[in-house]
Amino acid sequence: MNAVLATILKRLGLGIATLFVVSAIIFSSISMLPGDFGQSVLGQSATKETVAAFRKELGLDKPAPVRYFEWLGAVLKGDLGTSFSGRNASGQDRSRKVSDLVMPRLWNTLFLAGVTAVIAVPLALFLGLTTALYRNSAYDRTVNAATLTTISTPEFFVAYILILLLASLWPVFPSLANVDASTGLGERLYRVALPALTLTLVIVAHMMRMTRAAIINLLASPYIEMARLKGASRSEIILKHALPNAWAPIATVIAFNLAYLVVGVVVVEVVFVYPGIGQLMVDAVTSRDIPVVQACALIFAATYILLNLTADIIGIVTNPRLLHPR
């Protein structure tokens, strides 16, 4: 059991170290800003004093490592800084706290991703498992061709086709997924139907193909042939001989695709004008609102790292070689 614990701790440490480095990279992006940035945020008419005050507020007068640790400390306390937008040349400050901008939208994004995951993960595992079992059958070939096509298609293409069919020609669902804090759960589900469907189609394709490959790889092991030659039935082979060894690859597939979901959500939110964190980030990039961009990037990266970490840990705790050391 100690070997497992040690491996997990090592992996956790690595994850935290990665997160740390990633946060440093995201932070240092602000240092790469061109010198006249203050001017461009505040407008050409801003006085030297206002620009200087703005730079001081950003902490640009302090050395970078000091600023980094101050920023990191603040982030850990939930303070993500202040948005650039809402400022003007006169030095008047109507900007909002980044955390106030991000939090409600983060919840929206998690809701959309969650709905998608609930549909997509079981569906993909089912399709992946069945196509692996009946590989090279007509069923397998059809599913494969369909998913290969979906994978090669940009998310916005899938999204617009769905809009064309289900919102425009036959208006079943709304093409705009505008929700706010007051929207009830039923209404919310109805409005996110199309974005969730788009994401599901894209994710299922990826996840199903990876599951299929992992299972086929597993079924090619000599111990599976041995199980057959011991007279095990198809279901016994799958449940007793393949499954106990499949957790690690399956967990990796799921984590990888949920991580992919995190990225796919950006485009889909923009298409459906869904008030999520992805759309917020794109808007912030367009307006070069760096604190918001940083906050969003940090959240996306942390989610990504966390998912991969989880998959690795599942892989560790299901590995018999680690569970039962020599």
Partner 1 sequence: MTADPNQPGAPGDILLEMRDVRIDGFSDERWHPIIKGVDLTLRRGEVLGLIGESGAGKSTLGKAAMGYTQPGCKIVGGTIRFDGIDLVKARDAEKRKLWGTRIAYVAQSAAASFNPAHRLIDQTVEAATRRGIRPDADSRADAVELFRQLQLPNPETIGNRYPHQVSGGQLQRVMTAMAMSPRPDLIIFDEPTTALDVTTQVEVLAAMRSIVDEFNTAAIYITHDLAVVAQMADTIKVLRFGEEVEEAPTRDMLERPKETYTRSLWSVRALEKPEVKSEDIVLSIDHVDAAYGPFKVLHDVTISIPRGRTVAVVGESGSGKSTTARVITGLLRPEVGSVSFNGEPLPASLKDRSKDQLQRIQMIYQMADTAMNPRQTVFDIIARPLEFYLGLKGKAREDRVVELLKMIELDESFMDRLPSELSGGQKQRICIARALAANPEVIICDEVTSALDQIVQEGILKLLLRLQKEFNITYLFITHDIATVKAISDEIVVMHRGRVVEQGLKSEILSPPFPDYTRLLLSSVPEMDPDWLTDLLAGRESRDPA
Partner 2 sequence: MTEQSETYSATAEVGAVRKRRTRAERAWLLLKSAPPSAWFGMVVVCLYILVAIFADVIAPYGEAQIHPVPFAPWGGDFMFGTDQIGRDVLTRLIYGARNTMGIALATTFLSFLIGGGLGLVAAINRSWLDQLLSRMVDVLMAIPSLIFALMLLSIFGSSVTSLIMIIAVLDSTRVFRLTRSVAVNVAVMDYVEVAKLRGEGLGWIMRREILPNIMPPLVAEFGLRFCFVFLTIAALSFLGVGIQPPTADWGSMVRENASLIQFAKYDLTAAITPLLPAAAIALLTVAVNFIVDWFLHKTSGLRDDR
Binds 233: which of partner 1, partner 2, none (CB < 5-8 Å by kind):
partner 1
Among 146, 228, 260, 314, which residue sits at the site for partner 1 (rule: CB under 8 A)? 228
Residue 114's alpha-carbon distances to 118, 219, 320, in angstroms, are: 6, 31, 31
Binds 126: which of partner 2, partner 1, none (CB < 5-8 Å by kind):
none
Are the beta carbons of 180 and 215 closer than 8 angstroms?
A: no
Residue 225 binds partner 1, judged by CB under 8 A: yes
Backbone angles phi, psi at 55, to 5 degrees: -60, -40
Site for partner 2, rule CB under 8 A: 18-19, 21-22, 25-26, 29, 32-33, 148-149, 151-157, 160-161, 163-164, 167-169, 175, 259, 262-263, 266-267, 270-271, 281-282, 284-286, 288-290, 293-294, 296-297, 300-301, 304-305, 308
Instruction: List Cβ<8 Å contacts ≥24 apart for 46-50.
Output: 46/88, 46/89, 46/91, 47/89, 47/91, 49/91, 50/89, 50/90, 50/91
* Residue span 239-278 as binding mask against partner 1, x where in contact by CB under 8 A, dash where not: --x--xx---------------------------------
Binds 230: which of partner 1, partner 2, none (CB < 5-8 Å by kind):
partner 1
C-beta closer to partner 1: residue 35 or 222: 222
C-beta closer to partner 2: residue 242 or 307: 307
Residue 292's alpha-carbon distances to 28, 71, 93, 135, in angstroms, are: 14, 13, 16, 47
C-beta closer to partner 1: residue 62 or 230: 230
82: which strand partners?
97
Piece of the chain touching partner 1 by CB under 8 A; list 44-52, 111-119, 174-182, 236-244 = 236-244
- CB within 8 A of 132, min separation 6: which ones? 211, 212, 215, 216, 219
Q: What's the min distance (Å) between Cβ of 325 and partner 1?
A: 8
Q: Which of 211, 247, 240 is nearest to 224 (CA)?
A: 240
CA atoms within 13 A on the CB side of 153: 19
Are the beta carbons of 296 and 281 closer than 8 angstroms?
A: yes
Residues of this chain that interact with partner 1 (CB under 8 A) are 221-223, 225-233, 236, 241, 244-245, 320-321, 324, 326
